[in-house]
Amino acid sequence: MIILGIDTSCDDTAISLLEAGRSGFKIISNIISSQVKLHKKYGGVYPFLAKREHQKNLPQVLRKAMRGYKFSDINLIGVTVGPGLEPCLWQGINFAKDLAKRYKKPLIPVNHIEAHILANLINRSSTAIQFPAVALVVSGGHTQLILMKKIGQYKLVGETKDDAAGECFDKVARILGLGYPGGPAIAAQAAKFKIRNSKFEISLPRPMIKQKNYDFSFSGLKTAVLYKVREGKYNKRFMAAEAQQAIIDVLIYKTLKAVKDYKVKSVLLGGGVAANDELRKQFRKETKIFVPPKSLCTDNAAMVAVTCYFHRKERKKLKDIKADANLRIKNL
Ligand code: KG4
Ligand code: ZN
């Protein structure tokens, strides 16, 4: 079965062709047109600018993704309907509806968070993951701990009360003058920090780490960085390393707590922040994890195609497929 996946939830226009067979999922093409350069100028994503770019990029990205294939080869189309930036989501949805109508293909609405989790199944035998599992989704818009009874059966056990982990990386990077997107910029600065210089050493808060729940809060961390920077006595590399470590400490601590309390058998990571080398390394020291290759942690449409496969029987009329900027993962 060949599936076409489409994602325009944020600032990347992504289309992928994926083969779903007995031996699992294989990527045929995975095209991403990034708008980073455009949004860099503004230090963040502007939804209406992003929407215009999606409109411009979609036909070209489709052409590249379809190279060597025809619509008659395709069995299903999957499109992200949320969560995400509403004007951006609609671009992908309307584009997908046109294709579904023109080529008479079923269209399946996909949840972007579930897609980040299921990116773990690409190029991997699905029997490798044992259930119950817990998934930590850490992206620019979300930080959620999700208990998985099996694929398609989820329970949200914790989430951020304010900023997402990726958002925290982005905001701290902006305060330190490191540009957008902040995650890779902070990671690069942090990697350069070698010698601890006691003059500048301060330790940033690990918000909510002591609380007996699985929730997160990252906005205080950004504020703590801001105050230190305003005082003027700081070392940029140290600050990047310390902010990154504070985020990692809380993410690992809360995930391991869920692993213990819910007696889970597998830990899955997903979302842009899961591309962070230190996070991956430090998680691996603590427990076995499933994490996609870095290119499948950040937004892509191959993960949308995989998720479409698992929902392939849930057919909806085209007119009932709508964007939902605040779409939640369905609880058990
Ligand atoms: O999943 P994603 O591509 O888009 C959303 O769904 O939000 O995640 C983007 C987020 C951004 O906040 C970006 O700074 C962060 O992921 N990110 C990273 C790294 N690469 C991307 N954060 C930390 N370390 C990285 N290497
Ligand atoms: Zn995402």
Tokens 């058998």, located at residue: 265
- Same domain for 135 and 284, yes or no, is yes
- Same domain for 144 and 285, yes or no, is yes
Q: Which residue has the higher pLDDT, 50 or 283?
A: 283
CB-based contact 165:143 (threshold 8 Å)? yes
- Same domain for 24 and 71, yes or no, is yes
Q: Report helix, strand or coil for 78.
A: strand
Q: Which residue range(s) make up the domain with 55?
A: 2-121+295-320
Quote the pLDDT of residue 215. Answer: 98
Closest CA to 95 of 69, 45, 60: 60
- Which of 90-94, 159-163, 206-210, 295-299 has the weakest average pLDDT? 206-210
Digit-coded pLDDT (tens) for 219-270: 999 999 999 999 988 889 999 999 999 999 999 999 999 999 999 999 999 9
Compute the distance between CA of residue 137 and CA of residue 117 in angstroms, rounded to an integer: 7
- Same domain for 168 and 99, yes or no, is no
- Same domain for 148 and 253, yes or no, is yes
User: Residue 178 CA: which ligand is closest?
Assistant: 1
Digit-coded pLDDT (tens) for 206-215: 999 989 999 9
- Same domain for 69 and 137, yes or no, is no
Digit-coded pLDDT (tens) for 108-146: 999 999 999 999 999 998 789 999 999 999 999 999 999
Q: Does ligand 1 lie within 6 Å of residue 292's CB atom?
A: no
Residue 164 phi/psi, 5-degree rounding, is -80, 160
Q: What is the CATH number of the domain that holds 27?
A: 3.30.420.40
- Asked whether residue 143 is assigned to any structural domain, the reply reads yes
Digit-coded pLDDT (tens) for 276-297: 999 999 999 999 999 999 999 9
pLDDT at 43 over 70: no
Any residues with CB less than 8 A from the CB of 93 and at least 6 apart, and which? 79, 81, 321, 322, 323
Q: Does ligand 1 lie within 6 Å of residue 8's CB atom?
A: no
Q: If you measure from the C-alpha of residue 273 to the centroid of ligand 1, how many angstroms do you get, rounded to a whole number?
A: 4
263: alpha, beta or left? (left if phi > 0; alpha if psi -120 to 50)? left
CB-based contact 226:261 (threshold 8 Å)? no
- Same domain for 161 and 257, yes or no, is yes
Percent of the chain with pLDDT over 70: 96
pLDDT at 201 over 70: no
- Asked whether residue 331 is assigned to any structural domain, the reply reads no
Q: Does ligand 1 lie within 6 Å of residue 298's CB atom?
A: yes
pLDDT at 199 over 70: no
- Asked whether residue 71 is assigned to any structural domain, the reply reads yes
CB-based contact 224:172 (threshold 8 Å)? no
179: alpha, beta or left? (left if phi > 0; alpha if psi -120 to 50)? left
CB-based contact 296:141 (threshold 8 Å)? no
CB-based contact 31:67 (threshold 8 Å)? no
Residue 4 pairs with which residues in a beta bridge? 17, 77
Number of structural domains the chain divides into: 2
pTM of the model: 0.96
Rg (CA), the chain: 20
Quote the pLDDT of residue 23. Answer: 84
**Ligand 1 atom closest to Cα of 170?**
14
Q: Does ligand 1 lie within 6 Å of residue 10's CB atom?
A: yes
User: Residue 251 CA: which ligand is closest?
Assistant: 1
